[in-house]
């Protein structure tokens, strides 16, 4: 069933909860009094029923009001050394899956196998006690996370170094600032040395700088060839850390594929390409009585809608919208973000013809070309907005409406030349270099 290269094997895992703890409302004093007398028996039944299920509750498709199925038959396999992301909306089953794999809770059905030493991090600083000193909490938290005492002895100095709280290591943690506490907690977690790491996005807590540090550390962990199972809401973190992503929806695996494909599917659930968003029903389209958005498209230089864009060629962004009420000056705009969530640039439609002219009723298509050799490789997300001028009022604003990938075909004629490895930067201009040569003679 599983070969030696499998790190995590999940086979048809499902999980059921009973949530039917609804309190009855009383409409009269008498009813309240009667219920008060009867309540011990009712309460007993109610609390007893919390984990007792009968036959008809066994069917995961049967949606009884008091029973929920956060997971309904989830299966997948993770290879050793893979960094895999789990995304999905609230209630899609992400956290439940993580809790099952961490053994915090048992599955209702199915089976999972984890091969190798596992550490799970559902939060940092589990078991931290405010009355204990930093030193004592390192040992306590470390052993809670599954380290041996000897292992902590060995790594103690590194942990303290990383946390930057040497001076206060023998002070009770309750005297720490919250930032110091988080740093200490994270540095214990960062020195875990598992083969498989199950991790929740809540880990990326604290200020922006610290979040960055956490993400960097996790990236390192992934590149050391360890298996990382990363549950997150944050598309940007997922697309940065993971090669493969599983999208959960209502407790089922919806897609399991390369990260950019899954993410764009998640962002554009209607199907089709993440490079195109069309509203077929005008009533649901963004906008109001002045103007409505009809479609946003990403096209390549040949005018074809595509998700993967050649880094060397122009990328066309097309906005189709309808003006329903004449007389307003309109300013369509786009904002571009990379997969780390950094806003790269914004651009507004400054077409000289329409820039200062009230627009009559009708359909408009605005297109902007982003030059080739401009954006860096990776996934880019586009926010779309339409503003009326004088006064400035946003008619609609649609974040992450389309996304596309900039891909380098490694033919040596883009900015990376023949360099085959990581090539940094948020933009990738292809610049002219000049060389002056003087021979030695």
Partner 1 sequence: MKTDRNTANSRNEKTTPDDVSVTVIEPASGWRLIDFKELKDYRDLFYFLVWREIKVLYAQTVLGLSWAILQPLVQIVIFTIVFGKVAKIQTDGTPYILFSTISILPWTYMSQAMTQSSQSLLQGQAMLDKIYFPRLLFPITPVLARLVDFFISMVILVAVMIYYQVSPSWQLLWLPIFFCMMASIPLSVGLWMSALAIRFRDVKHAMPFVVRMLIYSAPIVYSASSIPEKYRMIYSLNPIVGVIEGFRACLLGTAMPWQYIWPGIITSILLLLTGSLYFKRMERVFVDVI
Contacts of the segment 127-131: beta carbons below 8 A, 24+ positions apart = 128/173, 128/181, 128/185, 129/173, 130/172, 130/173, 130/174, 131/172, 131/173, 131/174
Segment near partner 1 (CB under 8 A); pick from 3-11, 155-163, 295-303, 385-393 = 3-11
Q: What is the DSSP letter of 259?
A: H
Binding of partner 1 by 127 (CB under 8 A): yes
Q: Which of 172, 193, 329, 397 binds partner 1 (CB under 8 A)?
A: 172
Report in angstroms how near the CB of residue 64 gets to partner 1 at its nearest: 16
Report in angstroms how near the CB of residue 147 gets to partner 1 at its nearest: 8
Q: Which residues on neighbouring strands pair with residue 364, listed in sequence order?
A: 321
Q: Which of residues 193-212 bind partner 1 (CB under 8 A)?
A: 195
Report in angstroms how near the CB of residue 327 gets to partner 1 at its nearest: 48
As a whole number of angstroms, the distance between CA 159 and CA 188 comes to 6
Segment near partner 1 (CB under 8 A); pick from 55-63, 134-142, 160-168, 268-276 = 134-142
Q: Which residues on neighbouring strands pair with residue 76, listed in sequence order?
A: 10
Q: Which of 26, 31, 45, 117 binds partner 1 (CB under 8 A)?
A: 117
As a whole number of angstroms, the distance between CA 343 and CA 412 comes to 28
Give how many residues touch partner 1 by CB under 8 A. Answer: 68
Binding of partner 1 by 175 (CB under 8 A): no
Other Cβ atoms less than 10 A from the Cβ of 179: the count is: 14
CA 33 to chain centre: 50
As a whole number of angstroms, the distance between CA 229 and CA 416 comes to 31
Binding of partner 1 by 112 (CB under 8 A): yes
Q: Is residue 373 within 8 Å of residue 313, measured between CB atoms?
A: no
Binding of partner 1 by 420 (CB under 8 A): yes
Q: Where are the beta strands (DSSP E) in 290-392?
A: 291-300, 308-310, 315-323, 330-338, 343-348, 362-370, 378-388
Q: Which of 31, 45, 103, 394 binds partner 1 (CB under 8 A)?
A: 103
Q: Which of 118, 221, 291, 305 binds partner 1 (CB under 8 A)?
A: 118
Report in angstroms how near the CB of residue 305 gets to partner 1 at its nearest: 25
Considering the complex, state which of residue 195 and residue 322 has its C-beta at the smaller distance from partner 1: 195
Binding of partner 1 by 394 (CB under 8 A): no
Binding of partner 1 by 423 (CB under 8 A): yes
Report in angstroms how near the CB of residue 180 gets to partner 1 at its nearest: 19
Name 86's Cβ contacts closer than 8 Å, sequence gap at least 6.
94, 97, 98, 229, 230, 231, 232, 245, 246, 248
As a whole number of angstroms, the distance between CA 240 and CA 23 comes to 45
Segment near partner 1 (CB under 8 A); pick from 45-53, 156-164, 267-275, 299-307 = 45-53
Q: Is the dihedral of CA 277, 278, 284, 289 positive or negative?
A: positive
Report in angstroms how near the CB of residue 249 gets to partner 1 at its nearest: 22
Q: Which of 12, 91, 132, 348 binds partner 1 (CB under 8 A)?
A: 132
Q: Is the dihedral of CA 353, 356, 360, 366 positive or negative?
A: positive
Other Cβ atoms less than 10 A from the Cβ of 345: the count is: 13
Report in angstroms how near the CB of residue 293 gets to partner 1 at its nearest: 32
As a whole number of angstroms, the distance between CA 34 and CA 40 comes to 11
Binding of partner 1 by 365 (CB under 8 A): no
Name 271's Cβ contacts closer than 8 Å, sequence gap at least 6.
265
Considering the complex, state which of residue 143 and residue 335 has its C-beta at the smaller distance from partner 1: 143
Segment near partner 1 (CB under 8 A); pick from 142-150, 245-253, 289-297, 328-336 = 142-150
Question: One symbol per residue from 69 to 98: x for binding partner 1 (CB under 8 A), - otherwise; what is it?
Answer: -----------xxx----------------
Footprint on this chain of partner 1 (rule: CB under 8 A)? 4-5, 7, 13, 17, 44, 47-48, 50-51, 80-82, 99-118, 120, 122-123, 126-127, 129, 131-132, 136, 139-140, 143-149, 172, 195, 222-223, 225, 240-243, 259, 377-378, 420-424
């Amino acid at each position: 069933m599983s070969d030696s290269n499998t790190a995590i094997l999940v086979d048809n895992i499902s999980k059921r909860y009973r949530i039917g703890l609804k309190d009855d409302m009383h409409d009269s004093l008498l009813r309240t009094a009667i219920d008060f007398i009867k309540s011990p028996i009712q309460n007993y039944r109610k609390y007893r029923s919390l984990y007792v299920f009968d036959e008809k509750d066994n069917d995961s498709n049967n949606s009884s009001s008091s029973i929920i199925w956060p997971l309904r038959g989830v299966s997948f396999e993770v290879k050793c050394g893979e960094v895999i992301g789990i995304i999905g909306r609230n209630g899609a089953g992400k956290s439940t899956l993580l809790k099952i794999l961490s053994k915090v809770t048992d599955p209702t059905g199915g089976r999972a196998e984890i091969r190798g030493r596992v550490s799970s991090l559902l939060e940092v600083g589990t078991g931290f006690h405010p009355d204990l000193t930093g030193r004592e909490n390192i040992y306590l938290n470390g052993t809670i996370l599954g380290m041996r005492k000897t292992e902590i002895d060995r790594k103690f100095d590194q942990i303290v170094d990383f946390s930057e709280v040497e001076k206060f290591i023998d002070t009770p943690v309750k005297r720490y600032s919250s930032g110091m506490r988080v740093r200490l907690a994270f540095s214990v977690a960062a020195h875990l040395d598992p083969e498989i790491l199950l991790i929740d996005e809540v880990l990326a807590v604290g200020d922006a700088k610290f979040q960055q540090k956490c993400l960097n550390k996790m990236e390192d962990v992934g590149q050391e060839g360890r298996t990382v199972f990363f549950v997150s809401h944050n598309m940007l973190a997922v697309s940065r850390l993971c090669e493969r992503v599983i999208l959960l929806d209502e407790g089922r695996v919806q897609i399991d594929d390369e990260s950019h494909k899954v993410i764009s599917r998640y962002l554009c659930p209607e199907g089709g390409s993440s490079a195109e968003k069309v509203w077929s029903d005008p009533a649901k389209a963004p906008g109001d009585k002045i103007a409505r958005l009809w479609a946003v498209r990403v096209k390549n230089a040949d005018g074809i809608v595509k998700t993967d864009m050649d880094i060397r060629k122009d990328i066309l962004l097309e906005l189709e919208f309808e003006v329903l009420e004449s007389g307003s000056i309109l300013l369509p705009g786009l904002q571009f973000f990379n997969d780390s969530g950094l806003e790269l640039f914004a651009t507004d439609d400054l077409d000289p013809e329409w820039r200062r002219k009230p627009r009559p009723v009708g359909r408009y298509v605005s297109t902007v070309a982003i030059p080739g050799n401009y954006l860096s490789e990776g996934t880019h997300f586009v926010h779309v907005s339409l503003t009326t001028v004088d006064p400035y009022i946003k008619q609609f604003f649609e974040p992450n409406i389309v996304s596309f990938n900039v891909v380098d075909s490694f033919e040596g004629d883009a900015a990376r030349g023949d360099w085959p490895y990581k090539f940094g930067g948020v933009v990738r201009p292809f610049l002219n270099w000049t060389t002056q040569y003087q021979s030695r003679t």
